[in-house]
Amino acid sequence: MKDFKGTAGKFAQALGKEFIIFDYGIKENSAVYFPSTNVMDLKIYTYWMASIDFLFNKKKFTWFKITEDDRITVFISKNDYERILEPVAYHVLCRNVAEIFEKSFIEFTKGDKESAIKILRCDENG
Q: Residue 22 belongs to what H/E stretch? A: strand 21-26
Q: What is the pLDDT of residues 24-74, one digit of tens each?
A: 899 889 999 988 764 444 444 444 445 545 555 656 788 899 999 989 999
pTM of whole model > 0.75?
A: yes
Give the residue with greater pLDDT, 79 vs 45.
Answer: 79
77 within a domain of the structure (yes/no): yes
Let me know if residue 35 belongs to a domain: yes
pLDDT score of 99 more than 80: yes
Q: Quote the number of domains for the chain.
A: 1
- Enclosing domain of residue 73: 4-87
What's the pLDDT at 101?
92
Tell me whether residue 52 is in a domain. Answer: yes
Residue 110 is assigned to a structural domain of this protein: no
CA distance 68 to 8: 9
Helix, strand, coil percent values for the chain (each to nearest 5): 50, 15, 35
